[in-house]
Chain A
Amino acid sequence: MTCRGTKKYLPLLAGNEISQKRALKVKAHLERCPGCRKEVEEISAALDAAKGMAQKEALRDWTDAEWRQMLRNVTAANVERRPWAVRLVQRPAFAFGLALLIFAAGALWLQKKLPLRPEERGALQARSQTTAQRPKESAGQDVLSMTIVSQETGLKIVWFFNKNFEWKENPQ
């Protein structure tokens, strides 16, 4: 590391606020560089001096009379109550009940949404076949017809195709 790269970490090194990996790199540089070493020592000393001053500083406290008066002033103000809905939700029994209800609703919804398992689907089909009226057998699309009508002459040609794509023209 260079002096320039190291210097920005020195104040944080003094308070042990850099990662161990980076601290090792910075310390390796400090061993080689007396200038940076001096700077970090000065920052640490200044930090200790400031902390020492703060500790020794005689700080005041409220006198008991002031504290009592202050409390009276403070508690004379109206405390802003939580809205009733928030208070209700914060009651454990209510919150538990609500959570249970949401869970049950979610489970129901999921049950409807999820695809049926094969055995469930089979059972459902069997039931529908026995209970519901079966639809009439339809003739199916065994035969397909195609009609062409000439606009000029009015000639009408009808082709009939069977399953094997064999066709007949105007079979009547």
Chain B
Amino acid sequence: MVERVLSGDIDAFEPLITPYRQPLLSLAYRITRNWEDAKETSQETFLRAFKYLAKFDVQKSFRNWIYQILINTARNLKKKQAAQDRLRYDAPLSELPVDSGNDPEQAQLDRELRSQLADCLDGLSDREREIFLLRDIEGWNIKETADVLKCSSVAVRVHLSAARRKIKERIKEKYPFLLEVRR
């Protein structure tokens, strides 16, 4: 598929990236915590993937490569926003509209869930958040996570350990009922 795109068949790009359409958007959202930024990050990711496809080593995993671009793009966006010191108003997640049909009870539940997860992730450093999301939420293994983040497996374990501890503390402090249910 990559070869087809590189030989000029642009239409072959869509089937190449379609499997990552929603997963990349979700991960971008969980990193940026903002749907507009998530869409911007995803679009930039696909754009870079298309532009630099010639640099992709076909012997390696395309999934790892495109996720690596996404992580870097999200980091760059964050740096850019910090540099511009833009005064952004991110509506609290609980106020954001959610698509839950016409069921207000479900909508409320979704808001709460989103708020809780975002709150847990808030306590993590950027690196811890990336590692936690890839390993525990996306279900990648340690080696794949290290590969995407260009760090060692030991570093992944260290950050993962710290992230899990922080999440446990946050849940214990703010949402103890989530731990109670499972006891």
Contacts and interface: CB of A to CB of B under 8 A. Distances in A.
B183 A45 contact: yes
B117 interface: yes
A56 B21 CA distance: 19
Given A70-B43, A74-B13, A50 B172 contact: no
Nearest to B107: A58
A93 B135 CA distance: 42
B113 A81 contact: no
A139 interface: no
B22 A74 contact: no
B5 interface: yes
Nearest to A81: B54
A17 B157 contact: yes
Nearest to B44: A74
Contacts, number: 126
A15 B110 contact: no
Contacts of B161: 8, 11-12
Contacts of B171: 46, 49-50
B95 interface: no
B137 A50 contact: yes
Tell me the interface secondary structure of chain A in the complex: helix
A49 B180 CA distance: 10
Interface string B29-47: 1100001000100110011
Interface in B134-166: 135-137, 142, 157, 160-162, 164-165
27 contacts: A8-B161, A11-B168, A12-B160, A17-B160, A43-B168, A45-B183, A46-B172, A46-B179, A47-B136, A47-B167, A49-B171, A49-B175, A50-B117, A54-B137, A57-B110, A57-B113, A59-B25, A59-B26, A71-B14, A73-B43, A75-B13, A78-B51, A79-B51, A79-B53, A80-B53, A80-B54, A81-B6
Interface residues on B, range: 35 or more
Contacts of B10: 75, 79
Interface of A: 8, 11-12, 14-15, 17, 41-43, 45-51, 53-54, 56-62, 66-67, 70-71, 73-75, 77-82
A81 B10 CA distance: 12
Contacts of B42: 62, 70
Given A14-B164, A42-B168, A79-B53, A50 B100 contact: no
